């Protein structure tokens, strides 16, 4: 992957459903900002046509990103960054759904239980991606 400040790193971008089951992933260098990787992650998502709302963190507070996702029919629910110059684009009613973001964070905790993903031993992205898929399968199987 690409070089970062401390060497090499991998950023996990994962799309999960309302129960915390992974639907799609995108593995990339840790250098680019998350908002640039979000659309490629959605392109690699299983059943992407059924995504209506996307709950995201403050990193996704970007008006151009909101417009591009709205063109796809996706409503971005993310709190605004501090010090935002433009007026807010969403009210508090939508942000009530942000409380359910813990389900996505729980999925990252499940993925972090696999040491092979946390400590990246593989140099090739295809091998690392295969182990990532295997971890997602092991997460999904008990919940079927």
Mean pLDDT of 98-118: 89
Give the C-alpha separation, 86 to 65, whole Å: 15
CATH (domain of 108): 3.30.420
Q: What is the pLDDT of residue 2?
A: 44
Q: Which domain covers residue 80, as residue numbers? A: 3-143
Mean pLDDT of 4-17: 76
For 20-24, 80-84, 102-106, which range has the lowest pLDDT when averaged over its residues? 80-84
Give the C-alpha separation, 13 to 1, whole Å: 14
CB 15 within 8 A of CB 45: yes
Mean pLDDT of 16-34: 87
Model confidence at 130, pLDDT cuts 50, 70, 90, reads very high
- The total of structural domains in the chain comes to 1
Model confidence at 7, pLDDT cuts 50, 70, 90, reads low
Torsion of CA 115, 7, 108, 89, to 10 degrees: 180
Helix/strand/coil for 67: helix
For 2-11, 48-57, 135-144, which range has the lowest pLDDT when averaged over its residues? 2-11
pLDDT score of 121 more than 70: yes
pLDDT score of 4 more than 60: no
Q: Which backbone phi and psi does 5 adopt, to 5 degrees?
A: -65, -35
Mean pLDDT of 105-124: 89
For 59-91, what is each residue's pLDDT tens digit?
888 888 889 999 999 988 888 878 777 777 777
Torsion of CA 65, 68, 73, 75, to 10 degrees: 10
């Amino acid at each position: 992957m690409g070089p970062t400040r401390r060497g090499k790193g991998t950023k996990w971008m994962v799309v999960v459903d309302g129960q915390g089951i992974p639907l799609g992933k995108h593995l990339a260098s840790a250098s680019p900002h998350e908002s640039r990787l979000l659309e490629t992650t959605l392109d690699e998502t299983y059943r992407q046509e059924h995504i209506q709302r996307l709950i995201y963190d403050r990193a996704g507070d970007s008006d151009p990103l909101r417009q591009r996702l709205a063109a796809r029919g996706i409503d971005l629910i993310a709190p605004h960054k501090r010090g935002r110059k433009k007026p807010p684009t969403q009210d508090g009613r939508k942000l009530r759904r942000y409380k359910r973001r813990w389900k996505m964070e729980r999925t990252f905790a499940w993925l972090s239980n696999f040491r092979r993903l946390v400590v990246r031993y593989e140099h090739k992205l295809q091998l690392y991606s295969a182990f990532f898929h295997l971890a997602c399968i092991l997460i999904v199987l008990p919940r079927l």
